[in-house]
Chains A and B, each alone.
Chain A
Amino acid sequence: EDQVTQSPEALRLQEGESSSLNCSYTVSGLRGLFWYRQDPGKGPEFLFTLYSAGEEKEKERLKATLTKKESFLHITAPKPEDSATYLCAVQANLFDQAGTALIFGKGTTLSVSS
């Protein structure tokens, strides 16, 4: 069964204290791994797509990496405005052209205090 597990469930950081969020996945065939940011009461905001092991993407203080079993979202010198829930999702069924559904993890809620 395709599955996505995120850890930790919650993370509290001081401003400037770098850390990483983990997303472990098991899928029959990975089509893509996605990171989203979700603020309370809002829809998810797209951050990154990763397609193959070894791939890395960066955006401001965020950097996403991918291996064959997991992805990390590294946050460097976070600021209070980085506080949000970060969702990881995978798109499976590599050989099924119609298979575009995303499987989401439960998310990591990040709180950054000044």
Chain B
Amino acid sequence: GAVVSQHPSWVICKSGTSVKIECRSLDFQATTMFWYRQFPKQSLMLMATSNEGSKATYEQGVEKDKFLINHASLTLSTLTVTSAHPEDSSFYICSAKSRTGRTEQYFGPGTRLTVT
């Protein structure tokens, strides 16, 4: 149980284009989903928290107009990187917290974004 999927697992795009990453909780309903970014040999940095049906809360320093987050249902959240630049290249990971009240977050397998 508690499986989270991400799609795509890797993507290469050209500078200036937009990329959408999907995060799905497969066997549970997630009231809250989180988006993290991880650089090589670094730990996870929280970008934003999204609750189903409401606007995402972004961490300080994260541009909300560049990283668009939509949490349309209890099993799906999307992250859209708009007008991507090479510095946006990174490993993006989502996590989901069950609506059952348990505190654990379950992570997806991650999406490797490369902007050329």
Contact = CB atoms under 8 A, between A and B. Distances in A.
Interface of A: 31-32, 34, 36, 41-46, 49, 87, 91, 100-102, 104-107
A44 B103 contact: no
A104 B43 contact: yes
A41 B103 contact: no
B46 A102 contact: yes
A100 B97 contact: yes
A32 B103 CA distance: 8
B103 A49 contact: yes
Contacts, number: 53
B106 interface: yes
Contact of A106 (B42, B91, B107): B42
A52 B4 CA distance: 27
A91 B103 contact: yes
B103 A43 contact: no
The 6 residue pairs across chains A and B that have the minimum distance between CB atoms: A43-B107, A104-B43, A106-B43, A44-B107, A43-B110, A43-B109
B62 interface: no
Contact of A44 (B32, B49, B93): B93
Contact of B104 (A46, A104, A105): A46
A45 B97 CA distance: 14
Contacts of A107: 43
Given A44-B93, A46-B104, A101 B46 contact: yes
Contacts of A49: 103-104
A41 B6 CA distance: 13
Given A45-B107, A46-B105, A102-B44, 20 more contacts: A34-B105, A36-B107, A41-B110, A42-B109, A43-B107, A44-B44, A44-B95, A46-B2, A46-B106, A87-B43, A87-B44, A101-B34, A101-B49, A102-B34, A102-B46, A102-B95, A102-B105, A104-B44, A104-B45, A105-B43
